[in-house]
Chains A and B, each alone.
Chain A
Amino acid sequence: MSEEEVVSIDRESQAIIEAIMKIAKDKADAIRKEAEKRAKEIIESAKREAEEILRSRRERAEREMREEISRRRSAAEVEANQIILRTKSKIVDELFRRIYKRLVDIADGNDPNWNYEEILERYSIIGANALGEKEVLLMGRGKDKDLLEKVAKKLSSKGIKASVDDRGIPTIGGVVVRDAKDEKRYYNTFDGRLRAYKEMKEVEIIEKLFGEVS
């Protein structure tokens, strides 16, 4: 082989080697670029998912906060209503406590504006008329016995035969009228009248007490 031939072969082998190396480097570059692209996609995808997670968590936190606010507001409104109701109840109780005390004072003859004997007489007549009996007995507090005796006499003078039952009844005042056989009774006690009045007029009383305050 001549020297020229040897030089020619060296050039050819160098060209082949360079071609092999170029292909390898190109492929390596392509692998790196593909990896870079994929890595970037992974990060971008993670960022998008992270944003979605944060958005969802924020929405949930806000929803829970709104629910908590709603719960607290409702609880406060319930508590506010209870404050008002307790106050109204206390005032109504105080009103009826005072009425009860006034009735006791009247029955004990401690109120100059009321004549308890006249009240007993009126209640006894109403009771006797309601029973429609010719003979009635009057029942009241033990300490009203003398008064009831006087009332019985007055009734008798008005054509209603009346006497006093020795048995006392537990009441703050007033009278129970019964027939001779104790088969019929007409209750006209202060307690009973107050109870009936309260049941019938409580709404009206509350309106009178609190109507102006809205």
Chain B
Amino acid sequence: MPRLVEAIMEAEEEAAKIIREAEEEAKRMLEEAEAAAKEILEEARNTPIEVSIMADVEREVQEILDKARSKAQELERLSAEKMEDLVEEIVREVLEGE
């Protein structure tokens, strides 16, 4: 009978060791998972975000300004054509108006 008790005690020790190893392995797995999760979140926070519509607005801004400059030139051209007649008309109205 003492041999049986001794054998059972040895088996229980071995069983406790198996469970302890499994618990340590489980702990390691969870720690690795936590580290991997942290890395995933860090990457999400730091990955550069690309937005590719800026080039369009540069072109649009240039178009707006070019259009304004073109209109300004048109104004200068048309007003130059009218200028002399308008000077005469206004001089007459200034001098002869009531």
A interface vs B, CB < 8 Å?
9, 12-13, 16-17, 20-21, 23-25, 27-29, 31-32, 34-36, 38-40, 42-43, 45-47, 49-51, 53-54, 57-58, 61-62, 65, 68-69, 72-73, 75-77, 79-81, 83-84, 86-88, 91, 94-95, 98-99, 102-103, 106, 114, 119, 190, 193-194, 197, 201, 205, 208-210, 212-213
- Contact residues, B21-66 vs A (CB, 8 A): 21-23, 25-27, 29-30, 32-34, 36-38, 40-41, 43-45, 47, 49, 51, 53-54, 57, 60-61, 64-65
Within 8 A of A (CB), among B55-96: 57, 60-61, 64-65, 67-69, 71-72, 74-76, 78-79, 82-83, 86-87, 90-91, 93-95
**In the complex, what's the smallest C-beta–C-beta distance from A60 to chain B, in angstroms?**
8
CB pairs A–B below 8 angstroms (8 shown):
A32-B29, A43-B37, A46-B38, A53-B44, A57-B44, A88-B75, A99-B90, A103-B94
Measured CB to CB, the residues of B under 8 A from A are 1, 3-4, 7-8, 10-12, 14-16, 18-19, 21-23, 25-27, 29-30, 32-34, 36-38, 40-41, 43-45, 47, 49, 51, 53-54, 57, 60-61, 64-65, 67-69, 71-72, 74-76, 78-79, 82-83, 86-87, 90-91, 93-95, 97
Task: State the majority secondary structure of interface residues on B.
Answer: helix
One of B15, B49, B83, B93 near A20 (C-beta < 8 A): B15
Contacts of A201 in B (CB 8 A): 90, 93
Q: What distance in Å separates the Cβ of A110 from its nearest Cβ neighbour in chain B?
A: 13
Give complex CA distance A25, B91 in Å: 113
Known contacts A42-B33, A76-B61; is A205 also within 8 Å of B19 by CB? no
List residues of chain A with CB within 8 A of the CB of B91: 99, 102-103, 106
- A9 to B30 alpha-carbon distance, docked (Å): 44
Please, which residues of chain B bring their CB within 8 A of the CB of A210? 75, 78-79
- Interface of chain A: mostly helix, strand, loop or mixed: helix
Q: Are A80 and B67 in contact (CB under 8 A)?
A: yes
The residue that B29 contacts in the complex, of A36, A49, A62, with Cβ under 8 A, is A36
Q: A39-B32, A99-B91 are in contact. Are A209 and B82 (CB under 8 A)?
A: yes
Q: How far is the CA of A17 from the CA of B3 in the complex (A)?
A: 12
> Nearest chain B CB to A40's CB is how many angstroms away?
8
Which chain A positions have C-beta within 8 A of B43?
A: 50
B90 touching A205 by the CB < 8 A rule?
A: yes
For the complex, what is the distance from the CA of A54 to the CA of B78, rounded to whole Å?
55
